[in-house]
Amino acid sequence: MLIFDTLTLGLLTLWLLSGLVGALKKTPWPTALAILALAACATHLLVEGPRWQMGPAYVVLLVLAVLQLGAVWPPLGGRFNGAGGRTRGAARWIAALLLVLTVVASFLFPMFRLPKPSGAYAVGTTTLHFVDPSRYELHTVEPFDRRELMAHVWYPATAAAGAKPVPYLTDPDVMAQATAGSLPLAPFFTHLGAIPTHSFQDAPISPARRTYPVVVFSHGRNAFWGQNLTLMEDLASRGYVVVAIDHVYGAGQSDLPGGRVARFVPEVYENRGPEPHRGTPPSEADLKAIATSLKGDEVRSAIQKLMAYSPRADAKNRYGLNIWIADQRFILDQIESLQTGRTPSPFAGRLDLSRLGMMGMSFGGAATIATCATDDRCKAGVSLDGFALHLTELPPRQHPFMTLNSGDYGVNLAIFGRGPSWDYWMQVRGANHSNFTDLPMVTRLWRLAGLAGDVKGGAGPIDPGHMQALLRAYVSAFFDKHLMGAPAPLLDGPSPDFPEVRHFTVKRPSCAATEPGCRP
For residue 12, the model assigns a pLDDT of: 87
Relative to beta strand 501-507, strand 423-428 is: antiparallel
Measure the CA dihedral 175/263/254/260, to 10°: -120
DSSP 487: -
Residue 77 pLDDT: 52
Question: Where in the chain do CATH 3.40.50.1820 domains reside?
Answer: 122-275+310-507
Rounded to an integer, the average pLDDT of 227-243 is 98
Please tell me what DSSP assigns to residue 484.
I
Nearest Cα to 278, choosing from 331, 325, 314, 302?
A: 314
pLDDT at 84 over 60: no
Average pLDDT over residues 484-510: 91
SS (H, E, C) 250-314: CCCEEEEHHHEEEECCHHHHCCCCCCCCCCCCCCHHHHHHHHHCCCHHHHHHHHHHHHHHCHHHH
Structure confidence at residue 512 as a pLDDT band (50, 70, 90): very low
Averaged pLDDT score across all residues of the chain: 88
- Look at domain 122-275+310-507 and name its CATH class: alpha beta
Q: Any bridge partners for residue 402, and if so which?
A: 382, 424
DSSP structure class, residue 516: T
How many angstroms separate the CA atoms of 352 and 338, rounded?
Answer: 11
Question: What H or E segment, with its residue span, contains residue 239?
Answer: none
CB within 8 Å of 198: residues ≥ 6 apart: 114, 116, 117, 123, 165, 233, 237
Q: Which of 430, 383, 422 is closest to 509 using CA atoms?
A: 422
**First-residue to last-residue Cα distance in the chain:** 50
- Under the banding of pLDDT at 50, 70 and 90, the label for residue 515 is very low
Q: What pLDDT sits at residue 229?
A: 97
Task: Output the CA–CA distances (angstroms, integers) from residue 116 to 122, 218, 236, in the order listed.
Answer: 11, 22, 12
Query: Which of 245, 237, 244 lies closest to 157 in space, CA to CA?
Result: 237
Helical H runs in 341-443? 363-374, 439-442
Instruction: Give yes or no for a contact between 123 and 144, defined as CB atoms under 8 angstroms apart.
Output: no
Range with the poorest average pLDDT among 58-62, 288-292, 376-380, 509-513? 509-513
Range ranked top by mean pLDDT from 174-188, 262-276, 380-394: 380-394
Q: What is the mean pLDDT of residues 514-519?
A: 49
